[in-house]
A and B are shown apart, each in its own frame.
Chain A
């Protein structure tokens, strides 16, 4: 888990960019795929419905031709004198009948040729129920059944018109067909025969079937909403008032096409009313199926998926390459501090990262240079400051010392006054005149002794000072006034409660260090006053020189480095021990 988070963190940049890229690639290709499919299917549907309305016109034309042929055939039958006569005459003998049948057939065959190309059948029935059937196979009708059918009554009622109707009953042996019928009447309204034209649904279908395809359906609808023919056989014989109302309103609105929901699906509907047959020709186009057949959605989808995969792959590789080098760079930069800003970056990876690394390294070098310069300057300044401090002898010290000497002379302690003046002279001489920074232990010891002598002369000798110096140390060098501040500190602060005590000064070589120790048995320090390197004091005191306990450690380190410095141990009421660690300089 931690590893995972770690991986995520280190690849943060890559993951972010990659995710954004993937999401946008997918989004773009999805949108483009969707809109191109939509656009092409819309375009296709538009052209498709234009073509289909032309097809509708063609189908209508075919229906009209058919009904025209029926009208003209029925007119011919109506006006055919031979048939009129034959149908009215009585035929008793076989010979009369034979001639009657023969001539009826002869006449009808001539007229039938007009209707035949549409696969329609033509039948004439006489008053005696004799059937003259031009194409028995198309409608094997029985005279008795036909004579008793309600069709006859309807025909008789409707005077001159041709009556169209859809039949699927016993009279047609259950075969669905359209029957056009007409009563043959004399002027006196006497009916001498009946004329029928039948067209089976199967043959009717041929009028439009070649224009249909999967999803592109044609239906014929009576004004009662009955579906009398369709290329979708399961719909034939059914009723759909819904579809009828659509077809009727379509006719009124004069639309190019409209979208409808019928039979539980969404269709594009085109409709045409055929007044000659009194039926509605309806074209239902199932948008989805038709468009699917023409527009290869899956191909488009596959192409976009392919592009997405390629693009993502390419992004992955390119991004990976870019971000890995950037991540490495970042990693190196974040590690900088550990190497003191000394280690330059590796200039690898892509163009950009190499440039960045180069610039960074350049900047690093510059910075190091500046820092070096700055450090040098600061060191110089500090040294100058310390130098300046070193050369300053507190005027109060001089004033107080001189004042003490004046008292000694007045009290006529000539001996002491002369010693003190000697010490004072030698101390000032060493402090001011000796411009060299380091002096020998011997000289420092001299200074210390002079300083102690002055103090003892001023304040009495209740504080004893012992010097334990290893002789081999005497010629060694050490910075000027390194030990004086601690002795001063011990004199003025270690013995405020205890009135007497002693201070021991030890100088020896140890492990190639010059170790100086200033040990007192005075009051000691509370832990809060102690800082291991220096002693915290509140009051502003007058020191012998500008250098106090405070900056001794700093000074040593500035001169010799980290290995050297001051260490202070103290215990209240027992005393304080200051250890100064210095290099051995001869």
Chain B
């Protein structure tokens, strides 16, 4: 009896202690399982602009019917994204990398060519032919489609109707002109109104790239050879640039705020830039009805188109767990959903490069600020004509060299010397 009692007590104690211990184990076990579950379905995406590309991703998430799909969108500055991708991919560990990342088109090749295995080819999840042709070269590599084109950087020639009318030009006079004609018009505007034609930041050679792409050429050829010396479109662009400068047709800006202030305060007659400048132009409401958009001037060359590109980015899927889910999400939304693109234009103001979208209602919107012009539709039409260019790996590097040389060119150095010097420096640096 007595012995039994103590045995019972010991058994009771052991049972309680065991129960407490095993209880703890259960708890931690569950937590681990949950973590694993999250890894499977949780997709992360990196983008940089909460009002633009992050808003677009959020909109896409709303349009995507998949209950199991969860996506976390992380905002990072664009430079940070570039830096972190470079660090992450070059170290070879994909830890901490996102599933989806937005990369600017002109940088894309440097990633695709440097780390071809890090990205997941997503050509099977959508039809690349549905997208503007010019987008395909920067987003593909070695015959595989890696990027899903997002926004277009299709350029337009925004101009002040009042100033140009005063100088004696109508809309028709400005459609499908060449850059030489643009310079001539600028001279007339300066003469008649005293206003500069455009605003430029000497540290940003975007305008040269816009000019160059109308002919389908770039600083580098498709096989990556640097072609500055003897690059006829580049020469022509530089000549136009210098002529604008020499005749004081430009209002120079030292930073972005001055650049914006130049057209918002009415100091310049036009803004030849990517369509994304539109909202900044519209920001000055007192100028409503005074603006219109004409096609981008082309370089005076055979085969040049009155359409060009400045900026624009595409989505890429990294070759890590969850890539299928990520690619499927992109394919179902950005890759094929016409309705989504209508909302994208209306709610975010982003013009995609998905060609079927331009037939939708939202694209027909007549913008009162631009005198009732169907601006979005026009852009989407011009977009399809943008000559295709392979941006290569070193666009920004070459531009650093070139901008130093350009100052000497403005200072009187001959164009041939400028280009051949730049060519030598670039070859030394990137070979």
Residues of A bordering B, CB below 8 Å: 93-95, 97-99, 101-106, 130-133, 136-137, 140-143, 306, 310, 314, 317, 321, 350
Chain A residues near B420: list those with CB within 8 A.
none
The complex places the Cα of A31 from the Cα of B245 at a distance, in Å, of: 87
B257-A101 in contact (CB<8A): no
Chain B residues near A321: list those with CB within 8 A.
5
Chain A residues near B20: list those with CB within 8 A.
306
Interface status of B21 (Cβ within 8 A of chain A) = no
Chain A residues near B245: list those with CB within 8 A.
94-95, 98
Q: Looking at the assembled complex, report how far the CB atom of B321 sits from the nearest CB atom of chain A, in whole angstroms.
A: 27
B258-A143 in contact (CB<8A): yes
Name which of A105, A132, A141, A350 has the most chain B CB atoms within 10 A of its CB.
A105
B261-A130 in contact (CB<8A): no
The complex places the Cα of A219 from the Cα of B404 at a distance, in Å, of: 45
Interface of B is mostly: helix
Residue of B nearest to A131 (CB): B255
The complex places the Cα of A141 from the Cα of B255 at a distance, in Å, of: 10
**Which residues B221-261 have CB closer than 8 A to chain A?**
244-250, 252, 254-258, 261
Interface status of B167 (Cβ within 8 A of chain A) = no
Can you sample 18 A-B contacts with CB below 8 Å? A94-B244, A94-B246, A94-B248, A94-B249, A95-B245, A95-B246, A98-B252, A101-B202, A102-B404, A103-B407, A104-B254, A105-B203, A105-B254, A130-B254, A132-B255, A142-B257, A310-B16, A317-B5
A136-B410 in contact (CB<8A): no
Q: How many residues of B contact A (CB 8 A)?
A: 30
Instruction: Give 7 A-B pairs besides A98-B202, A99-B202 with Cβ atoms closer than 8 angstroms.
Output: A94-B247, A98-B410, A130-B258, A132-B254, A136-B255, A140-B256, A310-B12
Chain B residues near A314: list those with CB within 8 A.
9
A131-B254 in contact (CB<8A): yes
Interface status of B324 (Cβ within 8 A of chain A) = no
Chain A residues near B290: list those with CB within 8 A.
none
Given contacts A136-B255, A306-B16, contact A102 B9 (CB under 8 A): no
Q: Looking at the assembled complex, report how far the CB atom of A325 sits from the nearest CB atom of chain B, in whole angstroms.
A: 12
Interface residues as binary, B331-345 with A (CB distance below 8 Å gives 1, 0 otherwise)? 000000000000000
A93-B248 in contact (CB<8A): yes
The complex places the Cα of A143 from the Cα of B248 at a distance, in Å, of: 22
Nearest first, the 9 closest Cβ-Cβ pairs linking A and B are A133-B255, A98-B202, A94-B245, A97-B252, A136-B256, A101-B202, A95-B410, A102-B202, A105-B203
The complex places the Cα of A314 from the Cα of B250 at a distance, in Å, of: 96
A106-B404 in contact (CB<8A): yes
A140-B202 in contact (CB<8A): no
Chain A residues near B12: list those with CB within 8 A.
310
The complex places the Cα of A140 from the Cα of B410 at a distance, in Å, of: 29
B252-A101 in contact (CB<8A): yes
Chain B residues near A95: list those with CB within 8 A.
245-246, 410-411
The complex places the Cα of A528 from the Cα of B338 at a distance, in Å, of: 133
Name which of A95, A131, A133, A310 has the most chain B CB atoms within 10 A of its CB.
A95
The complex places the Cα of A276 from the Cα of B403 at a distance, in Å, of: 38
Interface status of B300 (Cβ within 8 A of chain A) = no
Interface status of B201 (Cβ within 8 A of chain A) = yes
The complex places the Cα of A130 from the Cα of B77 at a distance, in Å, of: 26
Interface status of B13 (Cβ within 8 A of chain A) = yes
Chain A residues near B247: list those with CB within 8 A.
94
The complex places the Cα of A310 from the Cα of B248 at a distance, in Å, of: 95
The complex places the Cα of A130 from the Cα of B258 at a distance, in Å, of: 8
A133-B252 in contact (CB<8A): no
